[in-house]
C-alpha cells in the first residue's frame, strides 16, 4: 500500500446527494488534513486533525463534515453541495500536528464534480 | 505576515532547455522551513525538497537543483536538461516554527514541449 490513499478518484454528485470521501494513511503519522484545490485558486486548508482530534476548521461550510475515527483514517462527508464546490479534494498526513516542519504526504486526490 | 510568491504563472520551454522556477517568501520567524512540491496531471502533490532556515547550502538531486538565498528571501528551483515528464505544476511552500500550517504559493505551471 502506498503512503496516502484516497477514494474515490472521481466523483460526480447531484446537489441533493450525500457522499463521502475516504482517506487512509499507512505511514504511522499523527496528523491528517483536508485541502481543497479549485481551478486558478490557491490551495485551501479545510480541516486539520491531530491524534484524531479536530484542531482546525477554516470557516468551512457545514455541508462539509469531517470525521477521523482513528489516526489512519479520515473522511469528508458531503451533503447538499453547490456547483462551486466542484474541485480536487486532497488528503494529506504528517508526522505531527506541526506538520510544516517535515512536510506533508499527499494522496492522489478526489476530483469532485457537483451537477 | 507570512507569504509565498511564485510570480511565474506559466512557463513553456522546449525539451532539453534549462528552466528556473522562482519562489520568494516573507516571514518574521528566524526558524522556518521551505518546500517544493510537484503536481503532475494525475493530481497528487509530490514532495521534492525541504530546507530549514539554518541551512543555506544549495542542493542538487540529479537534474534538479535548489538555490536558497536568505539575503533575497528566495528559494529558486532549477531543472537542467528538461524533459517532457517534468511538465507539471510546481508549488513552493513555507512553514514557520510558530505555526504548523503550510503557506502555499500559487504554483507555476511548467510545460515542456518535445
Sequence-distant (≥ 6) Cβ neighbours of residue B61 within 8 angstroms = B49
Instruction: Give the separation between CA B25 and CA B23, rounded to whole angstroms.
Output: 7
| Partner-chain residue, chosen from A48, A88, A103, that has the shortest CB–CB distance to B47 | A103
Q: Decide if B43 and A42 are in contact by the 8 Å CB cutoff.
A: no
**B92-108 pLDDT, tens per residue?**
999 987 776 788 999 99
List the beta strands (DSSP E) in A1-115.
4-7, 10-13, 18-25, 31-37, 44-50, 53-57, 64-70, 73-79, 87-94, 105-106, 110-114
Using a pLDDT cut of 70, give the percent of chain B over it. 99
Q: Decide if A100 and B106 are in contact by the 8 Å CB cutoff.
A: no
Q: Which residues of A touch B102 (CB under 8 A)?
A: 45, 99-100, 103-104
Q: Which residues of B touch A111 (CB under 8 A)?
A: 43
Q: Which residues of B touch A107 (CB under 8 A)?
A: 44
Pairs of residues, one from chain A and one from chain B, whose beta carbons lie less than 8 Å apart:
54
How many CA atoms within 13 Å lie on the side-chain side of B20? 10
Instruction: Give the separation between CA B107 and CA B21, rounded to whole angstroms.
Output: 10
Helix (H) or strand (E) holding B89: strand B88-96
Instruction: Give the separation between CA A66 and CA A73, rounded to whole angstroms.
Output: 11
Q: Are B92 and B110 in contact (CB under 8 A)?
A: no
What does the block give as the cell for B8? 511565474
Q: Position of cell 534538479? A: B64
| Partner-chain residue, chosen from B37, B43, B97, that has the shortest CB–CB distance to A109 | B43
What does the block give as the cell for B71? 539575503
Q: Decide if A107 and B104 are in contact by the 8 Å CB cutoff.
A: no
When pLDDT is averaged across residues B24-39 and rounded to a whole number, the result is: 94
Q: Decide if A102 and B101 are in contact by the 8 Å CB cutoff.
A: no
Q: Are A63 and A79 in contact (CB under 8 A)?
A: yes
What does the block give as the cell for B12? 513553456
Q: Which residues of B touch A108 (CB under 8 A)?
A: 42-44
Q: Single out the residue of B5, B4, B11 nearest to residue B89, CA to CA.
A: B11
Among all residues of chain A, which has the CA nearest to that of B89? A40
Q: Which residues of B touch A99 (CB under 8 A)?
A: 95, 100, 102
* Positive or negative torsion for Cα B58, B9, A113, A99: positive
pLDDT-derived band at B89, boundaries 50, 70, 90:
very high
Mean confidence (pLDDT) of chain A: 90
Instruction: Give the separation between CA B4 and CA A56, rounded to whole angstroms.
Output: 21
**A71-108 pLDDT, tens per residue?**
899 999 999 999 999 999 999 999 876 667 788 999 99
Among all residues of chain A, which has the CA nearest to that of B38? A106
pLDDT-derived band at A66, boundaries 50, 70, 90:
very high
Say what the pLDDT of residue A58 is: 73
Q: Decide if B44 and A106 are in contact by the 8 Å CB cutoff.
A: yes
Amino acid at each position: 500500500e502506498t503512503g496516502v490513499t484516497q477514494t474515490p478518484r472521481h466523483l460526480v454528485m447531484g446537489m441533493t446527494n450525500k457522499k463521502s470521501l475516504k482517506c487512509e494513511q499507512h505511514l504511522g503519522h499523527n496528523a491528517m488534513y483536508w485541502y481543497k484545490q479549485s481551478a486558478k485558486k490557491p490551495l485551501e486548508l479545510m480541516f486539520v486533525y491531530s491524534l484524531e482530534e479536530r484542531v482546525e476548521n477554516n470557516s468551512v461550510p457545514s455541508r462539509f463534515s469531517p470525521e477521523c475515527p482513528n489516526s489512519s483514517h479520515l473522511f469528508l462527508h458531503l451533503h447538499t453541495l453547490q456547483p462551486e464546490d466542484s474541485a480536487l479534494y486532497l488528503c494529506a498526513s504528517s508526522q505531527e500536528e506541526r506538520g510544516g516542519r517535515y512536510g506533508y504526504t499527499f494522496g492522489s486526490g478526489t476530483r469532485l464534480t457537483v451537477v | 505576515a507570512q507569504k509565498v510568491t511564485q510570480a511565474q504563472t506559466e512557463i513553456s520551454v522546449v525539451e532539453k532547455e534549462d528552466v528556473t522556477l522562482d519562489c520568494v517568501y516573507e516571514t518574521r520567524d528566524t526558524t522556518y522551513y521551505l518546500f517544493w512540491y510537484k503536481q503532475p496531471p494525475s493530481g497528487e502533490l509530490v514532495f521534492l525538497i525541504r530546507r530549514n532556515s539554518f541551512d543555506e547550502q544549495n542542493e542538487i538531486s540529479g537534474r534538479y537543483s535548489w538555490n536558497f538565498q536568505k539575503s533575497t528571501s528566495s528559494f529558486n528551483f532549477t531543472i537542467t536538461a528538461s524533459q517532457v515528464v517534468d511538465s507539471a505544476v510546481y508549488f513552493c511552500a513555507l512553514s514557520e516554527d510558530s505555526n504548523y500550517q503550510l503557506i502555499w504559493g500559487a504554483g507555476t505551471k511548467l510545460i515542456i514541449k518535445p
